A = this chain, B = another copy of it.
Amino acid sequence: MEYSDILQNISKHIKLDEYEISRFTSVLVRKEFKKNEIILKEGLQCNVINYVQQGALRAFHVDQDIDENIVMFAINDWWITDMYSFVTGKPAIINIDALEDTIVFQLHRDDLGDLYNSVPKFERFFRIVMQNAYIREQLRVIENLSMKAEDRYNNFLNKYPQFAQRLPLKQIASYLGITPEFLSVLRKRATKKIT
């Protein structure tokens, strides 16, 4: 059954009985997006959390100079949303679109609110999800502050090999906060060092 991945994801942190499972899956909304399709547009309200069943999404922010800065990638078995907008109800500050054809399960803000009350275990689950997200972002801040672009790139390759294989150089550069031209230079240097 198609819910098995998301249920397994949840079972890493909490145990649900049959009733709780049905309650949870009943509020999930399955959606398909084609490559390049937009899931969330900056300025609109973000009312869902997305669980990626299959495919690849990216969240990015557009600055004044029209540069795109990638906030995060999300492939199979990742959760992604504009947490700021989702939590506050204010306009989204990031865009989310599909890097590949993608299937997601969406959890609506209101449904999640109900879920917290009817199945409090979900408070624990999302506490842990948030905890991990916080830790991840804090590490990224430290890396951005303390490492040069070349080291950040190598670190990225080690940390997310599954992304590195799958994503075009341009996207990785944007995630690292450097230009594609410069990443191309770094990559060339790296091959020289190996040979």
Which residues on the B side are within 8 Å of A145 (C-beta)?
61, 69, 144, 177
The reply to whether the CB of A21 lies closer than 8 angstroms to some CB of chain B is: no
Which residues on the B side are within 8 Å of A147 (C-beta)?
63
Work out how many copies of this chain go into the complex: 2
Which residues on the B side are within 8 Å of A20 (C-beta)?
none
Chain A 106-149, CB within 8 Å of chain B: the 1/0 string? 00000000001000100110110011111101111110111100
Bound-complex Cα distance A123 to B84 (A): 20
Q: Is the CB of B67 within 8 A of A135?
A: no
The reply to whether the CB of A83 lies closer than 8 angstroms to some CB of chain B is: yes
The reply to whether the CB of A87 lies closer than 8 angstroms to some CB of chain B is: yes
Q: Is the CB of B67 within 8 A of A146?
A: yes
What's the nearest-Cβ distance from chain B to residue A142, in Å? Answer: 5
Q: Which of B63, B123, B133, B146 contacts A69 (CB 8 A)?
A: B146
A63-B146, A142-B69, A146-B61 known; A127 and B134 CB under 8 Å?
Answer: no
Q: Is the CB of B138 within 8 A of A138?
A: no
The reply to whether the CB of A169 lies closer than 8 angstroms to some CB of chain B is: no
The reply to whether the CB of A16 lies closer than 8 angstroms to some CB of chain B is: no
What's the nearest-Cβ distance from chain B to residue A65, in Å? Answer: 8
Bound-complex Cα distance A33 to B114 (A): 43
Q: Is the CB of B144 within 8 A of A141?
A: yes
Q: Is the CB of B144 within 8 A of A84?
A: no
The reply to whether the CB of A7 lies closer than 8 angstroms to some CB of chain B is: no
What's the nearest-Cβ distance from chain B to residue A151, in Å? Answer: 9
The reply to whether the CB of A71 lies closer than 8 angstroms to some CB of chain B is: yes
Which residues on the B side are within 8 Å of A141 (C-beta)?
71, 137, 140-141, 144
Q: What are some 16 contacts across the A-B interface (CB < 8 A)?
A: A61-B142, A84-B135, A84-B138, A87-B131, A116-B124, A120-B123, A123-B123, A123-B124, A127-B127, A130-B131, A130-B133, A134-B134, A137-B140, A137-B141, A140-B141, A144-B145
